[in-house]
Structure 1
């Protein structure tokens, strides 16, 4: 493992075999590292995207930003999927993120990966991706004569069980009804239910990450830029293009949240409270819950002083695929319990949407309206989704961001690299700015001299790294993805000079 410290903001590290062959590589640019400071609560780790011509897996650490969009928090190429490789990768990623582990992490069911997570992130909440689990239903159950009924029932058990007790009871009933006692796959899933079943994981904040949507969006993030036939050098350039587009999309969403006001759909004061605070995407999610309020009927079940217990009946409709393949609808009534402390306006609902997603549910909103609450406490307006909260990564100057090299950006960037607090004070006046910059300029001279002398030494001691030997990945079928339009273009002869950090990474990847 050979860390390259030439740029303190662009972190990358390589795992090289004794014969000089590249085995694994990890990197995280300055923007990824800064974004993690805001989005370290929940991450997903994905290995299912694609492999390159050396059969190296492209892996990614992914979070969700204040608009609910995918944000990249680091990437890597792996030549193996064993426990040691994952431990190396997780430790490298953790090092790049100032040794701050995530609060929660979503992965697939890979045993080697789970073992590595337990070692490197022992205190993180873990969850398996439901998308990976549910897509295996045909593989493990399609041979059963009542497959259609089983698939429908299993989905109901997974998604409609409100409590752990409900899940356990419904699961046992399903197993007995369809004589599935000997199905090893279902038996294993039930024994690990605390790692994936919504009823068991919904008390933890997951930033609303739907495993299905997030897994699909990770793939969509890079589709059209790279595929299994993309060379390592092409990969670096196309990876840069994908990130540039993602930055532009986030900047556009930030701008819209300030410039475009989404009209309220009710006369409730607390809706205007969320309208003023949240990004447009998150405010629209809140409005979806407000629309759902019309199907909710709250009644007081019990009152002890300022403590209320409400029963909320919700008229629900689900759409599903019948045994004959036709799309059908079904209406039914669900019962929810909402606890309300009138003294401090503390609320909890059995559905746990707020705990899971950070958005108040329609059941709680119906109680707020019934109790004529005009303003909700600030704890229910998460900083996570606010549009006016300054996030460090939006000011980071990165090599794919195309930020103009204006004096303002130069000053702000120089100050932020040294100290955010100093930057805030130094920007207050011309006098303070001059005082800070004089000191930093003197320090920069010393740093430049130090780095120049050490770069000369590194040139004599740096080990030559050659391309990896193609390897066979255990249990992974060849990619069937169509060739992207971008990759069709890069096949044509053309010269493209990669500058800055791209030069550094491409040189190291290609030996």
Structure 2
């Protein structure tokens, strides 16, 4: 028997049973790798003469490791959050339990996510289409956009179902976690239960439907009209892309009559919900470009490679943290590039120079595209001119003037400029039309009030830094939760800086004693104590968790989770693949069983 075959005997094939190999398999498995990938990684790193490990051996080890957590996954999830709380005082998490100890809903957000919300919480994207865990509990991440235009996570939740009361519970805890600071806009899919909950919990927040979800619906609903009317597609696009509300309404009356749209069709339903998705209705609200960037699709890819449909609950939160760490590393890379590089300017104009100095590199690239377009392709006509205000029509010579933009320029105490395209109002970056007029009017620098702090390097994460003034969210009679959180964060930072010096700690302690003695009104002390506990609400409940009888969820059933007829589309990860015939383009069958193909072949044979 050759040496290579001897290694296949069980007595000689010991490597895969060694503690070193098993530990490596478990570690790679917890990183989200499948057994086949674990096998390749281990065999590539193996230096001994032992036989290669197989996919089955890897799968057996991972299965054995998972059995140790069977029935205790939810307890492992709680333990994970408890351990994180020891190193992150600002972490917030709350667990909603049934009377029998079965988990219903879980929401969590770490300190850095809460800090990010104070800077980038003006627009929030919320989606529940990513359902990848063993118990099929819908995963609901809250997402925003940072100063580099990257997706960032404000918090995550695992939900029992997608009913109104569940969403209401989640939104209330999200608001409580984020210092009762309401987002200016929230972007979701068209789920009715979600929309009703947003109305109740975020009454003053503008609710927009995700454009990505709407476009996914369009083909199936527009197909009958496109096949019947040759110009329908063009008319529909012109209607959807109307520049003003008046134009949108007028065009609707035209296409409704011309194409005989029924009152109960999908297009009429979308018209009734126009306040939630038509661009013309959102020209006055900042959206950070989120509605047009397939943000939902990018969030699905956020966790790809970290979790899958069989991920256990205790593993899910660990993998969630790893995904967040990888995204934060990407953010820090962009911070480094901005701090250690110079912008590449296309001109010597001081407006572009100041933009390059203030904006992060990614945002400057967006600004630069507008600036270059301004330099090369635009012209204008003067509509009116006075000492205080001038109006111009700006556009390209090769484009019909009906599509040109109206730019209003005012110069009193400071430069004020508005454009009918509303790019600054919705994206926070001046458009090419406004930049063109500013240059023609000899404005020598980019006005500071047109540089949003959220697009600059000043918005980057700094350990222990509090970037918002303490009084920003206070009222005359009440100190806000956010202010108390800032004070507590500064206090913790002071302790950390003084902990290595006995004299500094003694000095700090003496100062605190003096302040405590000066407190005459006991009510303020009690209020501060209660609010401080509130900033980490859920920890007191979690401390009791080991004493409670906690069991894992019952798993997916017909009475819980997503309804069979959902009001929104499913993500590609969970939506079943639709069979499409390559011959007749019909759905539900392949070309091999296509009746039309067989009939055509039969006719062809007869003709022969």
TM-score (norm 1): 0.78
Q: Which residue of 2 aligns with 1:345?
A: 415
Task: State how far apart, in whole Å, the 2-side matches of 1:194 and 1:225 are.
Answer: 37
From the superposition, tell whether residues 74 and 368 of structure 1 become closer, same or farther in structure 2 (CA, over 3 Å). Answer: same
Q: Name the CA distance, whole Å, in 1 between partners of 2:196 and 2:397.
A: 43
Shift of 1:150: 3.0
1:84 pairs with one of 165, 168, 171 = 165
Q: Which residue of 2 aligns with 1:501?
A: none
Residue in 2 aligned with 1:334? Answer: 403
Tell me, yes or no, if structure 1 residue 157 matches structure 2 residue 235: no
Q: Does 1:481 align with 2:573?
A: yes
Q: Which residue of 1 aligns with 2:547?
A: 462
Could you say what secondary structure the match of 1:341 adopts?
strand
Matched, 1:420 2:490: yes
| TM-align CA RMSD | 3.5
Of the three residues 367, 389, 398, the one matched with 2:437 is 367
CA distance in 2, matches of 1:425, 1:298: 60
| Secondary structure class of the residue paired with 1:287 | helix
Partners of 1:112 and 1:311 lie apart in 2 by 44
Question: Structure 1 residue 312 and structure 2 residue 312: aligned?
Answer: no
Give yes or no for the alignment of 1:248 onto 2:248: no
Tell me: CA distance 1:394–1:88, structure 2 relative to 1, closer, same or farther (3 Å): same
- The one of 198, 219, 228 equivalent to 2:300 is 219
CA contact (8 A) 1:11 1:30 kept: yes
**CA-to-aligned-CA distance 1:274-322 (integer Å, 9 cap, x gap):** 01000000101001111221222122210122210111123578xxxxx
Question: Are the equivalent residues in 2 in contact too, given 1:25–1:78 (CA < 8 A)?
Answer: yes
Report whether the alignment pairs 1:296 with 2:388.
no
Decide which moves more: 358-367 or 200-209. Answer: 200-209
- Contact 2:187 2:291 (C-alpha < 8 Å) held by counterparts: no
Q: Which has the larger radius of gyration?
A: 2
> 2:62 corresponds to which residue?
none
CA displacement 1:468-506 (0-9 Å, x = unmatched): 122342135887539xxxxxxxxxxxxxxxxxxxxxxxx
Query: Is residue 264 of structure 1 aligned with residue 350 of structure 2?
Result: no
Report the Cα offset of residue 72 of structure 1: 0.1
Take 2:246 and 2:103, find their aligned partners in 1: how far apart are those partners?
50
5+ unaligned residues in a row in structure 2: which ranges? 1-74, 467-484, 514-528, 534-538, 575-608
Contact 2:147 2:460 in 1 (8 A): no
Provide closer, same or farther for how the CA distance between residues 171 and 316 of structure 1 changes in structure 2, counting only shifts above 3 A: farther
Q: Normalising by structure 2, report the TM-score.
A: 0.66
Give the SS at the match of 2:131. Answer: coil
2:452 match: 382
**How far is 1:423 from its partner?**
5.3
Greater strand fraction, Structure 1 or Structure 2: 1
Give the aligned partner of residue 280 of structure 1.
361
Change beyond 3 A, Cα 1:229–1:479: farther
What is the CA distance between 1:432 and its match in structure 2? 13
TM-fit CA distance, 1:356: 0.2
Q: Distance in 1 between matches of 2:507 and 2:358?
A: 35
Quick one: which of 499, 502, 509 aligns to 1:439? 509
Residues 26 and 313 of structure 1, relative CA distance in 2, 3 Å threshold:
same
Q: Secondary structure of the equivalent of 1:142?
A: helix
1-side partners of 2:275 and 2:570: how far apart? 32
Deviation at 1:52, TM superposition (A): 2.4
- Could you tell me how far apart the structure 2 residues matched to 1:53 and 1:86 are? 21
Q: CA deviation at 1:55?
A: 2.0
> SS of the counterpart of 2:289?
coil
Distance of 1:456 and 1:312 partners within structure 2: 60
In the alignment, the residues of structure 1 paired with residue 402 and residue 541 of structure 2 have an alpha-carbon distance, to the nearest angstrom, of 73
Q: 1:67 to 1:115 in 2, by over 3 A?
A: same
Indicate conservation of the 8 Å contact 2:100/2:549, yes or no: no
Pick one of 278, 287, 291 that aligns with 1:206. 287
In structure 2, which of residues 62, 82, 90 is the aligned counterpart of residue 9 of structure 1?
90
Structure 1 437/134 Cα, relative in aligned 2: closer, same or farther at 3 Å?
farther
